[in-house]
Amino acid sequence: MIAASLLCPARAPGAQPAVKTSAGIEWELGTFVNSSNARDGDVIDTTWLDGYWFQTISSVFHVDAVMNDRLSAELEYFGSILFTLPKEQADPSRDNQQRTGVGEMRSAHARLKLGNPSSPAATAWLGYFPFNYAPENRNLGEYLFKTGTYPGFIVSDDDDARLLGLRIQTSLPDMLTHDFIANVELNQRPQGDLSLTYLMRIGMGRPLEIAAGVMGHRLLRSGQAQAATLNYSNVGDRFPVLERVWNDSLSDWEYINTGEYYQKAGTKLLGRVVFDPKQFFLPERLGPQDLKLYAEGAVLGVKNYGGYYDNILERIPAMVGFNIPTFKLLDVLALEAEYYASPWKNSPYDDGRPVPNQSFELNPSKTSYRRILHPAEGAGDKAARDNLKWSLYAAKTIKERLTISARVASDHLRPGREAEVEIGPSERLHGPREFYVLLGIATRF
């Protein structure tokens, strides 16, 4: 609707109106090599996922509409059939694999160039649009838009973040690029909150690129979102901040209610650097991506809260990646690693709770995971074992139409999350020795 309405005004001189369409199909097939993931109802560590196959068959339809030199629009629709994991309560024989269909709009926005179309003073995107400030990253990172705060969680995949709102980009001076973004929360409850982001990048396309950004995550709370949190039992902003104090009579530490409440809103900070040494010597034998070294770190909430979030170091994910030279045999061969020392599950579940809820351990009845009632309980040993993630990704494009890719990784894999309203289901890998293999074939025509 936004893109269509912006295309209604009278046509200005310049490029002739044109519509271009493209389509594509993709097949991904993966298997778990090693996982200690436990099933609901049988929550002790098991090997039930080892050797289990999952696959996705997808299609995409893309439309680019050019109105004139300044105004254009983009529309993209994505559909997929997923053969994911059995239901958690399914027969252990694993015969009840889920087959799920999902379709979604992936892009619906207008783009407007301000000033001279050949060298615009600024460009604006309005609607639902993809945004990727880290094209070198293949699986890990992109922390500004693939994370949450309080509790901090991370999503890892090779797809662009998709935002609903407004983006304005300008370059002043030419080597310095600024992005201003206002987007509405769509995926994580409570929906409707507005985030404001500023991202600065210097040296794009040069041997050294540096980026820095700040986001006011859920900075403006919508009335609808606030009402949604209060309609659930003990969720949203209704959890009091607990302060750890020493009790002389007990000769032990205890947690007391401070009268303040935990908030989902927070401030994210980002830093990123890319180094490409090829530009210092003759690169004829090297591919465009070979030898690139890149790193990224973020703070998922600068404010400390007593109890659950009293250590900022536990809210700082960091990753590093290196493109191993293949001398044009492959498009890219990227090795990435990430460290994130959060002591809680990497999960945004429970209807927008601003505090962790579920541990990795059994409750006394041994029928479900133990609920976390106060910070001292922690989430269990597995919460520390999953701090390190890694990924090895390779891709080759043939005749500009067919792309073959492969990934071996121990990351934040959630098979079937495309079919979920929220980021879920749960992560399936809980340590650097647990990993999967994924093969992909994609074509565009």
- DSSP sequence for 214-226: EEEEEEE--HHHH
- Whose CA is closest to 276, among 174, 175, 397, 136? 136
- Whose CA is closest to 126, among 82, 79, 77, 184? 184
Question: Structure tokens of 57?
Answer: 């068959």
What confidence score (pLDDT) does residue 259 get?
A: 75
First to last CA, the chain: 27
Question: Structure tokens of 410?
Answer: 């121990």
What confidence score (pLDDT) does residue 74 get?
A: 97
Rounded Cα–Cα distance for residues 318 and 140 (Å): 9
Q: Is the CB of residue 430 less than 8 Å from the CB of residue 386?
A: yes
- For 142-175, where are the E strands, in sequence order? 147-148, 153-154, 161-171
What confidence score (pLDDT) does residue 88 get?
A: 57
What confidence score (pLDDT) does residue 9 get?
A: 43
The phi, psi pair for 313, rounded to 5°, reads -65, -25
Question: Structure tokens of 75?
Answer: 């529309």
280 SS3 class: helix
Handedness of CA 128, 134, 140, 144 (dihedral sign): negative
Q: What is the pTM of this model?
A: 0.88
Ramachandran region, residue 261 (left: φ > 0; alpha: ψ -120 to 50; beta: rest): beta
Q: Cβ-count burial of 401 within 10 angstroms (0-12 exposed, 13-18 middle, 19+ buried)?
A: exposed
User: b/e per residue, 257-288, with b = 16+ CB within 10 A?
Assistant: eeeeebbbbbebbbebbbebebeeeeeeebbe
Q: Is the CB of residue 20 less than 8 Å from the CB of residue 74?
A: no
Domains of the chain with CATH codes: 2-444 (2.40.160.10)
Question: Structure tokens of 387?
Answer: 């701090």
What confidence score (pLDDT) does residue 1 get?
A: 40
Q: Is the CB of residue 395 less than 8 Å from the CB of residue 125?
A: no
Rounded Cα–Cα distance for residues 342 and 339 (Å): 9
Q: Measure CA 198 to chain center.
A: 18
419 SS3 class: helix
Q: Which residues of the chain have pLDDT under 70?
A: 1-15, 40-45, 86-97, 223-238, 282, 348-351, 365-367, 416-425
